[in-house]
């Protein structure tokens, strides 16, 4: 009931659509009503939701983040991946999506993404299913 998704990224900065894998876990849980909380145990990757129809939305988001937090600026952190830490903080490490009838309550064009900022790597997303309601 607290499964981990493994996501292989192929670029330094990349939004990987994990909606289907998360939806599968929610369907298997049998949860009728509640919450599906996603978490990345990483400091240079994040979780975000956005349009999963037109791929240019992903590209624009990555380009905008690179413009705000350029990879090659002078940073204090010697590992050279400070921009990835900062972008991950801007998007956040967790997000909670409602569940109804064993399905994610997403908008029509909305998908769930792992946001990679220091790839390529193998990443993990921890999925926690919580039941709604007052006893």
**For a second copy, which residue of 17, 19, 121, 128 counts as binding (CB under 8 A)?**
128
* Cβ atoms 29, 129 nearer than 8 A: yes
Fill in the DSSP letter of residue 108.
Answer: T
120 interacts with a second copy by CB under 8 A: no
CA distance 27 to 101: 8
Phi, psi of 95 (to 5 degrees): -155, 145
Q: Positive or negative, the Cα torsion across 85, 49, 36, 132?
A: positive
Residues 8-67 binding a second copy (CB under 8 A) are: 29-35, 37, 39-43, 48-51, 54, 56-57, 59-61, 63-65
**For a second copy, which residue of 17, 19, 71, 95 counts as binding (CB under 8 A)?**
95
By the 10 Å C-beta count (0-12 exposed, 13-18 middle, 19+ buried), 22 is classed as buried
Write down the least CB distance from residue 73 to a second copy, Å.
8
Q: Which residues of this chain interact with a second copy, rule CB under 8 A?
A: 1-2, 29-35, 37, 39-43, 48-51, 54, 56-57, 59-61, 63-65, 68-69, 75-79, 82, 85-86, 88-98, 100, 105-107, 109-110, 126, 128-135
């Amino acid at each position: 009931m607290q499964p981990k998704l493994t996501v292989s990224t192929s670029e330094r900065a990349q939004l990987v659509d994990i909606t289907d894998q998360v939806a599968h876990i929610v369907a298997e849980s049998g949860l009728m009503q509640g919450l599906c909380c996603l978490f990345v145990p990483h400091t240079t990757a994040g979780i975000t939701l956005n349009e999963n129809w037109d791929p240019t939305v992903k590209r624009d988001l990555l380009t905008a983040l690179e413009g705000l937090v350029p990879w090659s600026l002078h940073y204090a952190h010697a590992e050279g991946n400070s921009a990835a830490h900062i972008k991950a903080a801007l998007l956040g490490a967790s997000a909670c999506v409602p569940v109804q009838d064993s399905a994610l309550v997403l908008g029509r064009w909305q998908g769930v993404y792992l946001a990679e900022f220091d790839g390529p790597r193998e990443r993990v997303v921890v999925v926690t299913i919580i039941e709604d309601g007052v006893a």
